[in-house]
Amino acid sequence: MTKTRWKPSVTVAALMERDGKFLLVEEHTDSGLKLNNPAGHLEVGEAPAEGCAREALEETAHHFEPTGLVGIYLSRFRKSRTGEDITYLRFAFCGRVGDEVPGLALDEGIVRAVWMSPDEIRASVERHRSPLLLRCLEDYLAGRRYPLDMVYADVSLFSEPPF
To the nearest whole number, what is the mean pLDDT of the chain? 94
Range of the domain at 129: 9-147
Q: Classify residue 154: in a domain, yes or no.
A: no
Within-domain flag for 108: yes
CATH of the domain at 135: 3.90.79.10
What is the per-residue pLDDT for 34? Answer: 96
Residue 157 has pLDDT above 90, yes or no: no
What pTM value is reported for the model?
Answer: 0.91
121: in domain: yes
Q: How many CA atoms are closer than 13 Å to the CA of 82, on its beta-carbon side?
A: 7
2 has a pLDDT exceeding 80: no
The domain total for the chain is 1
Tens of pLDDT along 8-67? 999 999 999 999 999 999 999 888 999 999 999 999 999 999 999 999 999 999 999 999
Q: What is the pLDDT of residue 80?
A: 76
33-62 core/surface letters (b: 16 or more CB in 10 A; e: else): ebbbbbbbebeeebbbbbbbbbbbbbbbbb
Residue 14 lies in a domain: yes
